[in-house]
Chains A and B, each alone.
Chain A
Amino acid sequence: MTELVEEFYDEPTDYVEDEALGQIVEAMWASYFAHTEFLLPAFDPHDIEGDILCASVTISGARPGIVTVSVERDLASPLAAALLQEDGELEDEDIYDSLGEVANIVGGNIKALVPDAGPLGLPVVATAKPLHGASDRLAARMDANWQGRWLTFEVWLAGGSENSEG
């Protein structure tokens, strides 16, 4: 029991920072979205107004957390079309799947920065961001603009004192 408490003297931002998140997102863009417009990172956080679609993956293990990608609702379909390299109207299933894969890729690479992480959860797509526990900290955030619309990547990790058994 004492060991668990000792592990939590560090802060999530000790291992996951905005810069790392930025590098991961840029690498993903270079690999799968190079044929489209650039992703333009914003200097300041930009909270998306209106309807969003949010894909999230959970990180389990000693320092559990969640990685999310939220997009303006109108952005979800063009984003999926770009990833799939398909034109025209997409099925909802493909839109959710594509956004989920974006979260998967970012989440897996973020997870690799967190010591003693367990398996990555399967992506979950919803119309709102997931709720957070009181002890969760926002370790990293990236806001970016693509085709004139906004995306937000967030990394939340358990931090501070004690954590419920996980």
Chain B
Amino acid sequence: MRALVVDDSRAMRKIIAGALRKLGYETVEAADGAEALKVLESGPLPDLATVDWNMPVMDGLTFVTQVRANRDYRALTLMMVTTEAEHGQIVRALAAGAHEYLIKPFTVESLEEKLSLLGLLPEGAQA
């Protein structure tokens, strides 16, 4: 399974991608929404994208909106992973089409559990 990790922080990309790889994912990274769209355009569609909210160039909410407007990307599951923690922000993200939402700081355990909820835990991975 493939995952696209979108976050402007290299540290956070490393944490998330590292956790996903331990679970059996192949990972690819992007530092903002625009870069992430380019990744989607140029390669096979990932199964999962983790998306930060506040990023330069194109933020996560805009990226989610654009992805969900494109029928070619219908099979891509979008999970926001962000420090935006207000009730209203979560509602906005879900309304824009995000499938799940993980608030930073998060433990690797909780990331696994969210993936399990989405049915996106690769076979043999420990939940």
- Indicate if A touches B (C-beta under 8 A): yes
- A residues touching B (Cβ–Cβ < 8 Å)? 27-28, 30-32, 80, 83-85, 93-94, 97-98, 100-101, 104-105, 107-109, 111-112, 117, 119-123
Per a CB cutoff under 8 Å, which of A85, A101, A105, A122 touches B56?
A122
- A109 adjacent to B54 (CB under 8 Å): no
B24 contacts which chain A residues (CB < 8 A)? Answer: none
Write the chain B residue with the least CB distance to A117: B86
Per a CB cutoff under 8 Å, which of A85, A101, A121 touches B12?
A101
B54 contacts which chain A residues (CB < 8 A)? Answer: 104, 108, 119-122
Which positions 1-29 of chain B face chain A at CB distance < 8 Å? 8-12, 14-15, 18
- B83 adjacent to A32 (CB under 8 Å): no
26 of the cross-chain contacts (CB-CB < 8 Å) are A27-B105, A31-B104, A84-B14, A84-B15, A85-B14, A85-B15, A85-B18, A97-B9, A97-B10, A98-B9, A98-B11, A104-B104, A105-B105, A107-B83, A108-B84, A108-B85, A108-B104, A109-B104, A111-B84, A111-B86, A112-B86, A117-B86, A120-B84, A122-B8, A122-B54, A123-B9
Write the chain A residue with the least CB distance to B55: A122
- B15 adjacent to A32 (CB under 8 Å): yes
How many interface contacts (CB-CB < 8 Å) are there between A and B?
69
A107 contacts which chain B residues (CB < 8 A)? Answer: 83
Write the chain B residue with the least CB distance to A91: B10
- Residue among B15, B56, B83, B84 having the largest count of chain A Cβ atoms under 10 Å: B83
9 nearest CB pairs, A to B: A108-B83, A31-B105, A112-B85, A101-B9, A28-B105, A98-B11, A112-B86, A101-B11, A97-B10
B77 near A: Cβ within 8 Å?
no
Give the distance to chain B from A45, nearest Cβ to Cβ, in Å.
24
B70 near A: Cβ within 8 Å?
no
Give the distance to chain B from A134, nearest Cβ to Cβ, in Å.
28
- B105 adjacent to A83 (CB under 8 Å): no
A123 contacts which chain B residues (CB < 8 A)? Answer: 9
